[in-house]
Amino acid sequence: MNETFEPQIVAYCCNYCAYAAADLAGSMRLSYPSNVKVIQVPCTGRVDILYLLRAIEDGADGIYVAG
């Protein structure tokens, strides 16, 4: 891993809490790295372990499940 390593991170966020929190971070103009991409799910219960594995297969460097 070198200095310029830019990890790709997928975040599966529950619509009711974590997704709302990510919205709130926006309204509050907080700043975080742009490598995080949020995918909205109806509930973290919908996050199949398979998604996490497939994401890694596809090239994700990190996965964040928040709810």
What does the binding site for other proteins look like in residue numbers (CB under 8 A)? Answer: 8, 10, 15-17, 19-20, 22-32, 34, 37-43, 45-51, 53-60
The CB-of-57 to other proteins minimum distance in angstroms stands at 6
- String of b and e for 15-53 (b: at least 16 CB within 10 Å)? eeebbeebeeeeeeeeeeeeeeebeebeebeebeeebee
The CB-of-66 to other proteins minimum distance in angstroms stands at 12
The CB-of-43 to other proteins minimum distance in angstroms stands at 4
